[in-house]
Structure formats: C-alpha cells, structure tokens
Amino acid sequence: MFCDEDNDARRVTDLDLLEEKREAASIHMKAYKNRIAQSYNRRVIQRSFQVGDMVLRKVQEEQRGKLDPKWEGPFKVIEMVRSGAYYLEDAQGKALKRPWNASHLRKYHS
C-alpha cells in the first residue's frame, strides 16, 4: 500500500514539472536553431544585382565539357522577380526563358 501512495506522489510531481521541462526544451531548441542559422549565414555569399547590371551565368554541368568555360555571358539583368531571382537578357536583346538564381550569377567586369 505504501508503494502505491509513493508512486502516485511521484507521478503528480512529474506532471507538475512536465510543463517546465517542455519550456526548457523549447528554449534549448530555439537557441540551437539560432546557432545553426548563424553558422550557415556566415558562409553564404550574398549576391544582389540591380536592373541593368551586367552578369555572367554559370554553365550547367551537363551542358559543359571538361575544357569548356564555367561561365558564359555577359547578360543584362532586366527584372528582379524576388530576392535572389533575376530575368536576364543576352547581348542581342533576347530575354532568357526562365529566371536565374543569384547563386548562379556573378558580376561581369569588362
């Protein structure tokens, strides 16, 4: 009989502490996510271009041979779709079909 009362008391105590443990775990998880985000953002090279900038476009691997250049262009930025996505235009003034991510572009210096 004594064991049942002791077990019930421990269970009530555990249930009282459960919310505190959840809150501590939540705080720990938020701190962990912030550290991971800081570590990732430290290594990311932020690239942004303005309309009218001249850029080079990375050649996709399946379209490139071993000795072919890695970059092609220059292209002109004609529109920014959203943060990091740009529509381009070639030297003849023909717009490319799809937008390009800034990670696949780099500034052209003539």
For residue range 64-96, list pLDDT tens digits in order: 788 889 999 899 999 998 878 999 999 899 999
Q: Which is it for the CA torsion 34, 40, 42, 44, positive or negative?
A: negative
**Could you tell me which residues are beta bridge partners of residue 86?**
80, 100
pTM across the whole model = 0.60
User: Domain 54-107 belongs to what topology?
Assistant: SH3 type barrels. (2.30.30)
Domain spans, the chain: 1-44, 54-107
What residue spans of the chain are helical by DSSP H?
2-43
95: CB partners within 8 A, 6+ apart: 78, 87, 88, 89
pLDDT at 7 over 80: yes
